[in-house]
Amino acid sequence: MQLMAANKNMRTQSLYKSKNVKLLYPELSFELVGLCFDTHNELGGFAKEKHYADTFERKLKAAGKSYKRELIIGITGNTADFFVEGKIILEFKAKRFLTIGDFTQTQRYLQATGAELGILVNFGSKYVQAERVVRINKTTHGRAALIRSHSQN
């Protein structure tokens, strides 16, 4: 299992290097996505969002990562599910598919906290879906954030 993950990691990193794309926090983000896959494998695709978050938190503690759970964002009272190592916001969903509103919500959290990277994770199907969302700088034009998908095969 670890050999397969290492090979996939090497292929992914070489793909980004060949296109001169700077991947934010590659090791940490791949580790977090791996924990999300483990969480999904343990609970399946039909649990509630809170159950995924509780299981993920247990795995995060076992991995020795520092984090804040249910981080309150600004004065709105909205909460991000996890803020890991002071670098990456994780937002969990448990529904059939992600919407543009989910990406917009994650982007707002990135803007409000100044974090550069968010990972939007949907556990609510047969396979976990993890999408990288990069904070759009105020000077950047366009609506959508740069999104890189991690898929479980």
The residue extents of the domains of the chain are 2-151
Q: What is the pLDDT of residue 146?
A: 40
CATH (residue range 2-151) = 3.90.1570
pLDDT tens track for 115-129: 999 999 999 988 999
| pLDDT of res. 137 | 85
Pairwise CA distance, residues 91 & 20, whole Å: 27
Three-state DSSP class for 115?
coil
pLDDT digits (tens, 9 = 90+) for 23-51: 899 999 999 999 999 999 999 988 999 99
| pLDDT on residue 107 | 95
Query: What's the DSSP call for residue 63?
Result: T
- pLDDT, tens digit (0-9, with 9 covering 90-100), for 4-24: 444 455 545 554 555 667 889
Average pLDDT for 129-153: 62
CA gap 146, 89 in Å, rounded = 15
pLDDT, tens only, 52-101: 999 999 999 999 999 999 999 888 789 999 999 999 999 999 999 999 99
Q: Where are the beta strands (DSSP E) in 12-146?
A: 67-73, 78-84, 88-93, 117-122, 129-134
Looking at residue 76, its pLDDT comes to 78
- Please tell me the predicted confidence (pLDDT) of residue 19: 62
What's the residue count for the chain? 153
